[in-house]
């Protein structure tokens, strides 16, 4: 019994960690990053002390929870850079990152935020944005991307994409695809007005509170 106890404790600790991360991913994807840490602990079935022992700050939890999404984002950017047609690669990056963000509300917020305690995450984000800037310069060189495009335009587009509220996850992705197509046409030097993806049913905007 004594010999097996350390292994059992390590196994329990690993299980708790995975339950916390699973709960965090689910709640961040559905509700964003403003969910209290105690609520994440409750959904994970662990005590707040266990949560804070594994992840002392929310920044650390967010960084770990979105590691896979950030890697996916980096893969998308690398795929765009490797495309022999810079404009096609630029469009691919917009389409795929918009969809990635549409599937996970919290990731957009995390991607746009600066977490001083999460330098790896910040470095990955900077790599993605710098790589997109390189791709944009190449696309301008082909004459397809409008010459007055700046990287802030893309960040603005990502922020707008994160504001889409649809009636279901599938509709959320469909609306994001249509929005990405509209953005791509706006970014073109000479828009061709290609057919847009199908429209999606959107959720009504929440009424503003009055005082």
With a threshold of 0.85, does the pTM exceed it?
no
| Lowest-confidence segment of 1-10, 21-30, 141-150 by average pLDDT | 1-10
Taking the domains of the chain in order of start, what are their residue ranges? Answer: 10-65, 67-187
Residues 67-187, CATH architecture: Orthogonal Bundle (1.10)
d(CA 80, CA 159): 21
Task: Tell me what pLDDT residue 137 has.
Answer: 97
Tokens of 209: 């509170």
Select from 2.70.150.10, 3.30.200.20, 1.10.10.60, 1.10.10.10 the CATH code of 10-65. 1.10.10.60
Read off the pLDDT of residues 108-134 as tens digits, 9 standing for 90 and up. Answer: 777 776 554 555 667 788 888 899 999
d(CA 108, CA 97): 10
Identical fold between 10-65 and 67-187: no
Sign of CA dihedral 25, 27, 33, 38: negative
Task: Tell me what pLDDT residue 9 has.
Answer: 45
Read off the pLDDT of residues 15-42 as tens digits, 9 standing for 90 and up. Answer: 888 999 999 988 888 787 889 999 999 9
Read off the pLDDT of residues 38-70 as tens digits, 9 standing for 90 and up. Answer: 999 999 999 999 999 999 988 889 888 888 888
Around 94, how many Cα atoms within 13 Å sit in the side-chain half-sphere? 31
- For the chain, the DSSP string reads -TTTHHHHHHHHHHHHHHHHHHHHHHHHHHH-TTS-HHHHHHHHTS-HHHHHHH-SSHHHHHHHHTHHHHHHHHHHHHHHHH-SSHHHHHHHHHHHHHHHHHT-HHHHHHHH---TT-HHHHHHHHHHHHHHHHHHHHHHHTT-B-TT--HHHHHHHHHHHHT--BSSHHHHHHHHHHHHHHHHHHHBSS---PPPPPP-PBPPPPPPP--
């Amino acid at each position: 019994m004594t010999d097996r106890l350390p292994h059992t404790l390590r196994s329990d600790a690993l299980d708790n960690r995975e339950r916390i991360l699973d709960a965090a991913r689910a709640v961040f994807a559905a509700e964003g990053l403003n969910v209290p840490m105690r609520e994440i602990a409750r959904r994970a079935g662990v005590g707040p002390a266990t949560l804070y022992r594994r992840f002392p700050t929310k920044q650390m939890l967010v960084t770990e929870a979105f590691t896979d999404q950030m890697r996916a984002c980096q893969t998308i950017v690398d795929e765009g850079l490797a495309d022999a047609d810079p404009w096609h690669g630029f469009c691919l990056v917009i389409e795929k990152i918009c969809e990635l963000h549409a599937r996970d509300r919290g990731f957009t917020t995390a991607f746009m935020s600066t977490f001083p305690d999460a330098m790896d995450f910040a470095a990955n984000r900077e790599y993605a944005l710098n790589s997109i800037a390189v791709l944009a310069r190449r696309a301008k060189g082909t004459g397809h991307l409008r010459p007055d495009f700046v990287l802030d335009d893309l960040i603005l587009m990502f922020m707008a994409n994160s504001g889409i509220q649809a009636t279901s996850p599938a509709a959320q992705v469909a609306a994001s695809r249509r929005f990405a197509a509209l953005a791509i046409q706006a970014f073109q030097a000479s828009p061709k007005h290609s057919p847009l993806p199908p429209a999606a049913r959107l959720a009504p905007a929440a009424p503003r509170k009055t005082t």
